Chains A and B, each alone.
Chain A
Amino acid sequence: MSIAEPHSESSSNGHSSAASALSSAALRQLIIYFGAAIAGCTLLMFALHYLASAFSSGSTTAIAVDPENNSISIYLKEEPPSLNSTITTDSVSGMVLNHVMEGLLRMSVDDKLEAGIAERWEVTPTHATFWLRDNALWSDGQPITAADFIFSWTTALRPETASEYAFLLYSIKNGRAVNEGTMPAEALGVSAPDPHTLVVELEQPMAFFDKTVVFPTFFPIREDFYNATNGRFGADAHELLFSGPFKLTSWVHGSSLLFEKNPNYWDKDRIKLDQINVAYITQDANAAINFFKDGKVAFTTLGAENLIEAQRQGWPIKRNQDGTLFFLEFNHRDERLTRNWNLRRAMQLVLDMDELVYKVTKLPGFKPGVSIFPEWLMGTNAPLREEYPPPQLRLDTAKAREHLALAKEELGLDEWPPIVLLTSDSPVSNIQSEWVQEALKSKLGLTIKIDKQIFKQRLAKMTAGEFDILLAGWGPDYNDPLTFGDLFASWNLNNRGRYMSDENDRLVREAQGSTDTKTRMDAFGKIQHVLFDDVALLPMFERGVTYAVHPQLKGLKRRVIGADTDYTNAYIDTSAGGQ
Chain B
Amino acid sequence: MRAADAFTPLAQDQAAAISSRPSLSYWQDAWRRLQQNKRAIFSLYLIIGLLAFTFIGPMIWTVDPSSQDVDQISIAPGADRSAILVKDYEPWYGELSEDFVANDNAVGLTFAVAPSTQSVRLSWQAQGERAAGGYRIYRNLFPITAGRSLGLPLAETQSLYFEDRLDLRPIDYYYSVVALNKRGEDSDLVATLSTTVTRVITRREAERRGLLGAAEQVAYGHEFQLKLHPLGTDYLGRDMLSRLMHGARVSLFIGLFAPILYILFGVLYGSVAGFVGGLTDQLMMRFADFVVALPFLLFMILFKVIFGIGPGESGIMPMLVAMVVLLWPAAARLVRGQVLQIREEGYIGASRLLGAKTPYLLLRHMIPNTMGVILVTVTFAVPSAIFTEAFLSFIGMGVAPPTPSWGSMCNEGIKTMLTHPHELIFPALFISVTVLAFNLLGDGLRDALDARMRNRE
Q: Which residues of A contact B (CB under 8 A)?
A: 109-110, 305, 307-312, 314-319, 354-355, 357-360, 362, 364, 418, 420-422, 425, 427, 430-431, 433-435, 437-439, 441-442, 448-453, 546, 551, 577
Which B residue sits closest to A422, measured CB to CB? B311
Q: B102 at the A/B interface (Cβ < 8 Å)?
A: no
**B310–A431 touching, CB < 8 Å:** no
- Bound CA–CA A307/B418 (angstroms): 11
- Bound CA–CA A121/B313 (angstroms): 57
> A308, A357, A360, A450: which contacts B401 (Cβ < 8 A)?
A450
**B310–A437 touching, CB < 8 Å:** no
**A431–B149 touching, CB < 8 Å:** no
**B312–A577 touching, CB < 8 Å:** no
Give the Cβ gap from A438 to chain B, nearest Cβ, in Å: 5
**B149–A442 touching, CB < 8 Å:** no
Q: B48 at the A/B interface (Cβ < 8 Å)?
A: no
> B73, B152, B183, B236: which contacts A438 (Cβ < 8 A)?
B236
Q: Which residues of B contact A (CB under 8 A)?
A: 66-68, 70, 73, 140-142, 145, 147-149, 151-155, 165-168, 183, 235-236, 310-313, 396, 400-402, 415-416, 418-419
Q: Which residues of A contact B166 (CB under 8 A)?
A: 357-358, 362, 364
**A420–B236 touching, CB < 8 Å:** no
> A358, A362, A421, A441: which contacts B66 (Cβ < 8 A)?
A441
- Bound CA–CA A357/B70 (angstroms): 12
Give the Cβ gap from A130 to chain B, nearest Cβ, in Å: 28
**A438–B66 touching, CB < 8 Å:** yes
Given A317-B153, A420-B311, A438-B402, A577 and B73 touching (CB < 8 A)? no
**A311–B142 touching, CB < 8 Å:** yes
Which A residue sits closest to B64, measured CB to CB? A442
Given A311-B142, A450-B311, A359 and B416 touching (CB < 8 A)? no
- Bound CA–CA A438/B403 (angstroms): 12
**B311–A314 touching, CB < 8 Å:** no
- Bound CA–CA A452/B315 (angstroms): 13
**B311–A308 touching, CB < 8 Å:** no
- Contacts between the two chains (Cβ within 8 Å), count: 101
Give the Cβ gap from B270 to chain A, nearest Cβ, in Å: 40
Which A residue sits closest to B174, measured CB to CB? A311
Given A360-B73, A438-B67, A438-B402, A305 and B236 touching (CB < 8 A)? no
Which B residue sits closest to A549, measured CB to CB? B149
Q: Which residues of B contact A317 (CB under 8 A)?
A: 149, 151-153
> B70, B142, B312: which contacts A360 (Cβ < 8 A)?
B70
Give the Cβ gap from A336 to chain B, nearest Cβ, in Å: 16
Q: Which residues of B contact A427 (CB under 8 A)?
A: 415
**A437–B402 touching, CB < 8 Å:** yes
Q: Which residues of A contact B419 (CB under 8 A)?
A: 305, 308
**A308–B141 touching, CB < 8 Å:** yes
Q: Which residues of B contact A418 (CB under 8 A)?
A: 312
List 11 A-B residue pairs with CB atoms under 8 Å apart, sorted by A's residue number.
Answer: A305-B415, A355-B70, A359-B73, A359-B167, A362-B167, A364-B166, A431-B235, A434-B401, A438-B66, A438-B236, A449-B313
Give the Cβ gap from B20 to chain A, nearest Cβ, in Å: 25
Given A364-B152, A435-B68, A577 and B147 touching (CB < 8 A)? yes
Which A residue sits closest to B147, measured CB to CB? A577
Q: Which residues of B contact A450 (CB under 8 A)?
A: 311-312, 400-401
> B145, B149, B402: which contacts A316 (Cβ < 8 A)?
B149
Give the Cβ gap from B160 to chain A, nearest Cβ, in Å: 17
**A438–B418 touching, CB < 8 Å:** no
- Bound CA–CA A319/B313 (angstroms): 38
- Bound CA–CA A316/B136 (angstroms): 14
What are the 6 tightest A-B residue pairs by CB atom distance, in nearest-first order? A449-B312, A451-B311, A314-B148, A362-B167, A316-B149, A358-B165
Q: Which residues of B contact A442 (CB under 8 A)?
A: 67-68
Given A359-B167, A420-B311, A309 and B236 touching (CB < 8 A)? no
Which A residue sits closest to B137, measured CB to CB? A364
Q: Which residues of A contact B67 (CB under 8 A)?
A: 438, 442
Give the Cβ gap from B419 to chain A, nearest Cβ, in Å: 5
Q: Which residues of B contact A357 (CB under 8 A)?
A: 166
Give the Cβ gap from A272 to chain B, nearest Cβ, in Å: 15
**A109–B147 touching, CB < 8 Å:** no
Q: Which residues of B contact A311 (CB under 8 A)?
A: 140-142, 151-152
Give the Cβ gap from B162 to chain A, nearest Cβ, in Å: 12
**A319–B73 touching, CB < 8 Å:** no
**B167–A420 touching, CB < 8 Å:** no
